[in-house]
Amino acid sequence: MINFYGINKQYGSFQALKNINLHIELGEVVSIIGPSGSGKSTLLRCINGLQKPTGGELVVHSMKIMDPGLKIKRLRRNVGMVLQEPNLYPHMTIIENLILAPVQVAHLSPVVARDLAMHYLNKVGLGDKRDAYPSQLSKGEQQRASIARALVMKPRIMLFDEPTASLEQEMVEEVLAVIRGLAREGLTMVIASNEISFAREVADRIVYMDQGRIIEEGTPADLFNQPKQRRTRQYLCHLQQ
């Protein structure tokens, strides 16, 4: 579903991704952990074409990302992304935020788009907030609405970039519960997050990155209980402190 073959990414003279080889299967949930600056966001952003790799080959749902003829709209329709900060349009109600892309990008009729939007709002527990503005919602609710907005496009792949890192502790669980539900449904997901207990629970595989490289990958049991690399062990110890 997602295949990185020797991917490099340079920002000027700085190399943010170094020879990334990573293969994610349909329905797999992969959690990427690693310190700030290790390249997690850059890796995710390559998957939906927000960043272009500078070397190697990357294939996402049969689309060659480096291909000059890449249909970026098609890629984005297939790959949803949720960021650390909820980014809803403040001047639109929640339902308006959700129907925007289905109507403008997928050319659904407003009536069909509304039904679809309500389905996903109910799914994240926000059906009763449809006519509220983002500022009237808690940050956890805004983040759940952001997830619903991505889901409305029926993506094949969902990317989450530290989806709970900006939330206060009491709101973290409601957002994780939504992601957990998506994992159960078999959606292919790549989640950058240092919520270790959550990664252990939902991820099929953990990837540990440092300084632009994949240092180690494995099942949660292997990587968390018996890390092979010294750097992985040091990082996990540091997180537990």
Whole-number Å distance between alpha carbons of 192 and 179: 12
- Considering only 18-26, 31-39, 73-81, 230-238, which stretch makes contact with ligand ADP by CB under 6 A? 31-39
Residue 163 binds: one of Mg ion, ligand ADP, none (C-beta under 5 to 8 A by kind): none
Shortest distance (Å) from residue 161 CB to ligand ADP:
7
Residue closer to Mg ion by CB (options 28, 161) is 161
Task: Tell how strand 29-33 and strand 205-210 pair up.
Answer: parallel
| The token pair that represents 18 in the structure block | 């170094």
Please say whether the beta carbons of 175 and 163 come within 8 A. yes
* Listed residue (119, 14, 8, 114) closest to 57, CA to CA: 8
Shortest distance (Å) from residue 57 CB to ligand ADP:
20
Residue 16 binds: one of Mg ion, ligand ADP, none (C-beta under 5 to 8 A by kind): ligand ADP
- Using CB under 5 A, pick the residue from 3, 38, 41, 142 that binds Mg ion: 41
Element (H, E) at 119: helix 110-123
Shortest distance (Å) from residue 17 CB to ligand ADP:
8
Give yes or no for residue 128 binding ligand ADP (CB under 6 A).
no
**Strand, coil or helix: 48:** coil
- Using CB under 6 A, pick the residue from 4, 22, 31, 38 that binds ligand ADP: 38
Shortest distance (Å) from residue 99 CB to ligand ADP:
31
Residue 89 binds: one of ligand ADP, Mg ion, none (C-beta under 5 to 8 A by kind): none
Give yes or no for residue 14 binding ligand ADP (CB under 6 A).
yes
- Considering only 30-38, 57-65, 106-114, 196-204, which stretch makes contact with ligand ADP by CB under 6 A? 30-38
Residue 186 binds: one of ligand ADP, Mg ion, none (C-beta under 5 to 8 A by kind): none
For 226, counting Cβ atoms within 10 Å of its Cβ (0-12 exposed, 13-18 middle, 19+ buried), the class is exposed
Q: In whole angstroms, how far apart are CA 240 and each of 32, 61, 78, 159?
A: 17, 36, 36, 25
Torsions phi, psi for 157 (to 5 deg):
-135, 140
How many residues are there in the chain? 241
Give yes or no for residue 42 binding ligand ADP (CB under 6 A).
yes
Give yes or no for residue 164 binding Mg ion (CB under 5 A).
no
* Listed residue (50, 49, 51, 48) closest to 17, CA to CA: 51
Torsions phi, psi for 32 (to 5 deg):
-105, 120
∠ CA 194-77-182, nearest 5°, is 45
Shortest distance (Å) from residue 4 CB to ligand ADP:
14
Residues in contact with Mg ion by CB under 5 A are 40-41
Residues in contact with ligand ADP by CB under 6 A are 11, 14, 16, 34, 36-42
